[in-house]
Structure 1
Amino acid sequence: MVPSGLLPGVCRTSPIALLLVCCLLPPGAQGQQFPLRLDVQSPVVPAGGSLLVNCSTDCPNPKLITLETSLSKEPVGNGLGWAAFQLSNVTSNSQVLCSGFCDGTQMTSSSNITVYRFPERVELLPLPRWQPVGENLTLRCQVAGGAPRDSLFVVLLRGEEELSRHPASGEPAEVEVTVPVLAGRDDHLANFSCRTDLDLRPQGLRLFQNISAPRQLRTFGFQGPILNLSEPSAPEGTAVIVTCLAGPRVQVTLEGLPAAAPGQPAQFQLNATERDDRRIFFCNASLEMDGKILHRNSSVQLRVLYGPKIDQAKCPQRLTWKDKTLNVLQCEARGNPDPQLHCFQESSGLEVPIGIPFLVRLNYSGTYSCKAASSQGTHTMTVVMNVRDRNSRAVTIVLGVLVVLGLVTIVAALLCVFSVQKRSDIYHVNQASTWLPLTSKQPEVATGEDPS
């Protein structure tokens, strides 16, 4: 649309000439030499608040100046080149747009409206009833609500002292900030709290602060329990005294044996043996505070120095292996400090590896001396290794077959002799029966028949 009153001669030219002239004209020549201004009373408003927006221009013949927004608006005034609107119940961030026409050309101008909210809840969670001195105290601050989030910070306080500051960025409805603080003796009856800082100074407003109700901390000095060994690293057979103690009013219990009275140490003595190496001793300390019993534990480990010992159950004294086969010599030795274990052939000094597969040869046959050594002494064990030739099995089989054949032959011969002897005994029995009486027998003749 060509603005009225703008270069009348141009309108009588051809369309191509009009297009060329219009393209070559500066923007102001097309009606934009008079911008539309948008003035906001305050672009940052509290949630639910209201603000005044004014749209204005220096155009001599403006038309249709209005405000476009999703917020609830109401015109509050207008005049030549201006119009004012009241926005109410602003609950969310939004954008407003002023628009109008100057000599038939549309003018626009926009601005962002930011809504801020104070946190709905700022709370420091309860502190321990009693806090031991020298241990970390965990401060936990919960903040619900608050906007804009990128301008909101959570501050942990000891009295008026700022302990830490953390941004409450993000969009969750609730944020929790956790800060560990080492409790000291000076913290007894100190007040702790947390505060939110909504910093809107960059937007032309001020710093808004909300602070939680303070919580008072009570601390107590709970020394120990302190658990000591008279000899932390004792040679075998040494007398070791184990002692546990704590501060006044504290009852200690060592290995199940309570001290004589609160504030008194508990102790006992033992003669260190190999079985006590790496033994852990425990001590428990208890203190009653306002009807509540508090507990703390401590532990210490005893190291006993003892000489090397080769475990006979894990180191066989006689071994039978075959030539050119892989085998492992399994031997273990214990001791503190850990001993070094080596096995040498007594005749040649040949060393065989321990715990590692190796190829056995015939010359490995013999007696070996296995020796474990450390700074606490030595221990020796004898191992006999018998290596057989791999062909000995065939010889053994042949000899076995020959022995079996021999046994079969002997058995067969014995059976034959026994059989001959048995037949001879039957013959003599028949001869012995000849003494029985003998009778003659005549042919019988039938009665009534003549012989012929």
Structure 2
Amino acid sequence: MAPAGALPALPLLLALLGALRPGPGDAQTAVFPTEAILPRGNSVLLNCSSSCNETAILGLETPLTKTERDSGHNWQMFELSDVQEDSRPLCFSNCGKKQTSASISITVFWFPERVELTPLPPWQPVGENLTLQCHAWGGAPRAQLTLVLLRGEEELSRQPAVGEPAEVTATVLASRGDYGANFTCRAELDLRPRGLELFQNISAPLQLRTFDLPTTSPQLTSPRILEVGTVQRVVCSMDGLFPALEAQVHLALGDQRLNTTVTYNKDSLSATALVEGTAEQEGDQLLACAVLLGNQSRQSRRTLTVYSFPAPNLTLIEQEVSEGTQVLVVCEAYAGNVVRLSGVPPGLQAPRAQSMLNATAEDNGLQLSCSAALTVAGQVLYKNQTQELHVLYGPRLDKRDCLGNWTWPEGTQQELECRAWGNPVPQLTCRRETDGALLPIGRLRPVKEHEGTYVCRAVSSRGEVTRKVFLKVCSRNSTNMIVIILVTVVAILSTVVTATYLYNRQRKIKIYKLQKAQEEASMKLNTQATPP
């Protein structure tokens, strides 16, 4: 079909041709466009014109429904609507006594109304031939229509569409690689040589199923014991399946079917279920797993023991007691269980044990433990219960937690480290004896007028305790005077030491000179006393 934008320019083209209009003997009839291809049921515009130098009579011969849309000197435009099949309309013109004509080739295209692949067998044995058959109803032009049989994206056969309905067949050898393969039939209407595009219509995919089930039994993994009120996981797996996706798994405990989640691999599966122990199932139960594929099945079984094991009961007469209270601790289990209480040496294999505890401040927060043991299917099981003992005691304000003497330089930042203990936690304050000034526990900014004797008091509902804290603040002037005194003392000591050193040195020199003079005099006397 001619582009829609080209038709408005047609009158201008005809006017140009009119300027070169030949005589009646040379007049010709033209049609625009000369070829058209359109979808079935669509419309097309045709323009018939004559090169006659006189007024020509124009017309269009066609069995199609036509409507005159526009006209001018020696040209006329027609619309052909609801075109259902190929046609060759004829434009004619009478110029004087001479008649000429021109035809247009109209090609109608449409897709096949239906493309179907013959259903595949429910199960296809590996190694046997499989015949594929495709049918297509309708479609034109048939010369450009092809049917293609596909396995996934792989072309198995490509044949022209012949007959009504068109039919093509292909034979393939089924293999393990065909597991889950999708087979389809595609109709291709190739109108690219006509300036359009490649149109495709494809059938619904059909999946091929083949199967192979090993003779071995599935592997069943589960606990051998299951406590009432608990949930455990059961796994049933099997290898060598083909295709694994087609296999079904049934898991059951006794006569109860379990909800199963199945995961598949290439040639194996793994089915997981959660099994819950109930009081009605207490005792030995049969756990079974069946794998079904095609018309065959494989099964595995094992025994699961469901048991009841309540936790032991740890009893304190009171969980919160005052310091010095006698606390009775009892550990008790159900019949058939053996208990052990923390802090109590092992004794008889009995379901009950007890202990008496004298509560002290150090016992606050003590974890008491009660343990019970039960043998099930040859396995020894344990359960514990713990409770925390809370001991109420009065405030503690020891020297290690609150020092008694503090010396702070004036203007510095200091932190009073004072902490009280007790249950409940006591409220701690430190106030100066003279005026009741509060000494904050924490960082002071800056240390200035805090010197004095403070009474630190820890108070709670269990009583109170006090401790005196002596705080001395060294002023900056006092510090400078001490430095001056120290410097003076050091200077005096240095002078004395120097003078003493010089005096001793001069004294030693004089003694040395005197000794030398005596030695020289003695040598002279000895020389004179010797005879010539």
User: Could you tell me the TM-score, scaled by structure 2's length?
Assistant: 0.60
Indicate which of 360, 379, 393 corresponds to 1:292: 379
Q: CA deviation at 1:51?
A: 5.4
Letter of the 1:137 counterpart: Q
Aligned to 1:68: 149
Q: Is the 8 A contact 2:328 2:357 kept in 1?
A: yes
Q: Distance in 1 between matches of 2:387 and 2:257?
A: 39
Q: CA deviation at 1:272?
A: 0.4
Q: Distance in 2 between matches of 1:357 and 1:172?
A: 71
Q: How does 1:335-346 map to 2 (within 5 A)?
A: 335-346=422-433
Correspondence 1:35 to 2:112: yes
Q: Is the 8 A contact 2:244 2:267 kept in 1?
A: no
**Segment of structure 1 superposing worse, 310-319 or 62-71:** 62-71
Aligned to 2:370: 283
Flag the 1:222–1:60 CA change in 2: closer, same or farther, 3 A. Answer: closer
Letter of the 2:202 counterpart: S
Aligned to 2:54: none
Flag the 1:385–1:258 CA change in 2: closer, same or farther, 3 A. Answer: closer
Q: Is the 8 A contact 1:98 1:108 kept in 2?
A: yes
Correspondence 1:233 to 2:325: no
Letter of the 2:116 counterpart: D
Aligned to 2:64: none
Q: How does 1:167-206 map to 2 (within 5 A)?
A: 168=263, 180-188=274-282, 189-191=284-286
Identity %: 26
Flag the 1:243–1:192 CA change in 2: closer, same or farther, 3 A. Answer: same
Flag the 1:415–1:91 CA change in 2: closer, same or farther, 3 A. Answer: closer
Q: How does 1:155-166 map to 2 (within 5 A)?
A: 164=259, 166=261
Q: CA deviation at 1:417?
A: 12
Aligned residue for 1:312, secondary structure, equals coil
Q: CA deviation at 1:93?
A: 2.1
Aligned to 2:340: 253
Runs (5+) with no aligned partner, structure 2:
1-28, 45-81, 87-106, 512-532
User: 1:389-412: CA deviations, max 9, x gaps?
Assistant: 112111112233445566678899
Q: Distance in 1 between matches of 2:411 and 2:361?
A: 41
User: 1:175-232: CA deviations, max 9, x gaps?
Assistant: 656555543212324555678899xxxxxxxx99989645543222212222221221
Q: CA deviation at 1:329?
A: 0.2
Aligned residue for 1:344, secondary structure, equals strand
Aligned to 1:17: 33
Q: Distance in 2 between matches of 1:266 and 1:321?
A: 58
Q: Distance in 2 between matches of 1:246 and 1:38?
A: 75
Q: CA deviation at 1:99?
A: 5.0
Flag the 1:141–1:324 CA change in 2: closer, same or farther, 3 A. Answer: farther
Q: Is the 8 A contact 2:147 2:158 kept in 1?
A: no
Aligned to 1:394: 480
Aligned to 2:443: 357
Q: Is the 8 A contact 2:392 2:422 kept in 1?
A: yes
Correspondence 1:244 to 2:244: no
User: Could you tell me the TM-score, scaled by structure 1's length?
Assistant: 0.69
Correspondence 1:91 to 2:172: no
Q: CA deviation at 1:130?
A: 2.0
Aligned residue for 1:294, secondary structure, equals strand
Flag the 1:166–1:237 CA change in 2: closer, same or farther, 3 A. Answer: same
Flag the 1:147–1:109 CA change in 2: closer, same or farther, 3 A. Answer: farther
Q: How does 1:362-381 map to 2 (within 5 A)?
A: 362-381=448-467
Q: Is the 8 A contact 1:45 1:113 kept in 2?
A: no
Aligned to 1:439: none
Q: CA deviation at 1:294?
A: 1.9
Q: CA deviation at 1:363?
A: 2.4
Q: Distance in 1 between matches of 2:256 and 2:207?
A: 32
Q: CA deviation at 1:358?
A: 0.9
Q: Is the 8 A contact 1:73 1:87 kept in 2?
A: no
Runs (5+) with no aligned partner, structure 1:
1-12, 199-206, 427-452
Q: Is the 8 A contact 1:67 1:98 kept in 2?
A: yes
Q: Is the 8 A contact 1:67 1:97 kept in 2?
A: yes
Q: Distance in 1 between matches of 2:502 and 2:180?
A: 124
Q: CA deviation at 1:312?
A: 1.4
User: 1:54-80: CA deviations, max 9, x gaps?
Assistant: 3244689967975433477799xx977
Q: Distance in 2 between matches of 1:16 and 1:241?
A: 114
Flag the 1:352–1:212 CA change in 2: closer, same or farther, 3 A. Answer: farther
User: 1:138-163: CA deviations, max 9, x gaps?
Assistant: 344557778797x9998865556565
Correspondence 1:129 to 2:224: yes
**Segment of structure 1 superposing worse, 188-197 or 344-353:** 188-197
Q: CA deviation at 1:367?
A: 0.8
Q: CA RMSD in A?
A: 4.9
Q: Distance in 1 between matches of 2:164 and 2:36?
A: 34
Aligned to 1:110: 202
Correspondence 1:315 to 2:402: yes
Q: How does 1:429-444 map to 2 (within 5 A)?
A: none
